């Protein structure tokens, strides 16, 4: 049985009450480097996004889930993107908003729960993640969970006038 609930956290769909959390996260310039954001988001635009968040992953090819503590506090987001049901693959990404909540096993639990869902419920064969080469904590997390480094995209991400390499990691469900 697949569950989206772990020992420390659970994953849930976006809700209208997440507007302020999304606004804080999407407009945090410290995470723009990994999210690819280059301009701020208004609450109106984010409200439109929330209004359409219920759409099926097979329709929109993506899924965003909220990482919540068992006290029901939103602490991060975990995304499925580039969902390709024909090829049975998708990309995943994760962000924990508050630095104090990082490196405590929350990310590992969220990625594990999501991968179980993707492999067992959606029947995917593989998932992948794109991580900046300098992001040692994320690289460690994904490798610890069985993702293998399969490529390096040179000068792939430009942020604040500098180009950075991005590592491609992949996990195949055999």
What is the model's pLDDT at position 159?
84
DSSP 8-state class, residue 133? T
- pLDDT digits (tens), the chain, 174 positions: 567 999 999 999 999 999 998 898 888 888 877 777 778 889 898 888 888 888 888 888 999 999 999 899 999 999 999 999 999 999 999 999 888 888 889 999 999 999 999 999 999 999 999 999 999 999 999 999 999 999 999 999 988 889 999 999 999 998
| Distance of alpha carbon 166 from alpha carbon 86, whole angstroms | 26
Rounded to whole angstroms, the Cα distance separating 47 from 90 reads 26
pLDDT of residue 1: 57
* pLDDT of res. 41: 87
Q: The sheet that has 9-13: what strands, in order across it?
A: 9-13, 63-69, 74-84, 89-96, 126-132, 162-172, 148-159
148-159 and 89-96 beta bridge pairing = unpaired
Half-sphere CA count of 108, side-chain side, radius 13 A: 12
CATH topology of domain 9-124: Aminopeptidase (3.40.630)
């Amino acid at each position: 049985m697949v569950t989206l609930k772990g020992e420390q956290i659970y994953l849930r769909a976006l809700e209208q009450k997440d507007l302020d959390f999304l606004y804080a996260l999407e407009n945090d310039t410290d995470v723009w480097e990994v999210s690819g954001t280059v301009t701020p988001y208004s609450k109106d635009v984010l409200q439109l996004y929330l209004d359409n968040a219920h759409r099926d992953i097979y329709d929109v090819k993506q899924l965003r889930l909220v990482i919540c503590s068992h006290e029901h506090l939103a602490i991060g987001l975990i995304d499925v993107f580039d969902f390709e049901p024909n090829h049975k693959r998708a990309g995943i990404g994760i962000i924990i908003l508050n630095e104090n909540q990082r490196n405590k096993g929350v990310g590992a639990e969220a990625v594990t729960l999501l991968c179980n869902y993707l492999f067992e419920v959606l029947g995917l064969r593989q998932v992948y993640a794109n991580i900046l080469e300098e992001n040692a904590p994320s690289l460690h997390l994904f490798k610890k969970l069985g993702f293998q480094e399969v490529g390096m995209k040179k000068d792939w991400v430009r942020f604040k006038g500098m180009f950075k390499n991005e590592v491609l990691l992949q996990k195949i469900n055999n």
